[in-house]
Structure 1
Amino acid sequence: MSTKSERRAAREAVAAYHEAQLASLLQRVGEAADSFRAGELDAFETDQIVFQYSRAAKELWKFCNLADVEFAAQLIHEGPPRDWWDRGAPKRR
């Protein structure tokens, strides 16, 4: 059984991880919007990036909010970083 301070530390670690990973995903969307405005991407390519962002953000949210917070904090601390962007990629047929 964990202490109240250990659970709080785990929640803080997961929240910090979630924010950092979400910022990374949003950076990709911002770059896509800039590329669209510059004429480097068309509307469909930009939409595909926004769609992938949406899927990736959902996967990140599930990881950070549906698992036991202490277990999630342990995975963040011990495991290799997950590539949430790739997890949001559409399934290829």
Structure 2
Amino acid sequence: MSSKSERRAAVEVVAEYHEAHLAELVRRVGDDVDRFRAGELDAFEADQVIFQYSRAAKELWKFCNRSDAELSAGLIRDGAAVDWWERGAPRRR
């Protein structure tokens, strides 16, 4: 069992990771909303981007809020690369 300070450190690692990756997702949506405003995307394409953001943010949230913060922090420290945007992509039939 880990100590309170180790758990606190793990929670901090996960929180920083969550914030950084959430900011990437938000920036991506912002860029595409700007493209919509410039007439480069239609409303349906912009909606698809927002839908994918929502799914990606939920997947990121699930990873960062599992009950075992030490496990998540260990995966983060090991450099487990996850493309959260791709995780939010709708499944193709």
List runs of 5+ in structure 2 lacking aligned partners. Answer: none
Look up the match of 1:87: 87
TM-score using structure 1 length: 0.97
In structure 2, C-alpha distance between the alignment counterparts of 1:67 and 1:89, rounded to whole Å: 25
Give the direction of change, closer, same or farther, for the CA distance of 1:67–1:81 in structure 2 (3 Å limit).
Answer: farther
Deviations 1:54-74 (A, max 9, x none): 000000000000241000000
**Percent identity (aligned):** 70
List runs of 5+ in structure 1 lacking aligned partners. Answer: none
TM-score using structure 2 length: 0.97
Report matched runs for 1:19-34 at 5 Å.
Answer: 19-34=19-34
**Runs of 4+ in structure 1 displaced over 6 angstroms?**
none
- Of stretches 77-86 and 33-42 in structure 1, the one that deviates more from structure 2 is 77-86
Look up the match of 1:72: 72
Query: Cα distance, 1:81 vs. partner?
Result: 1.7
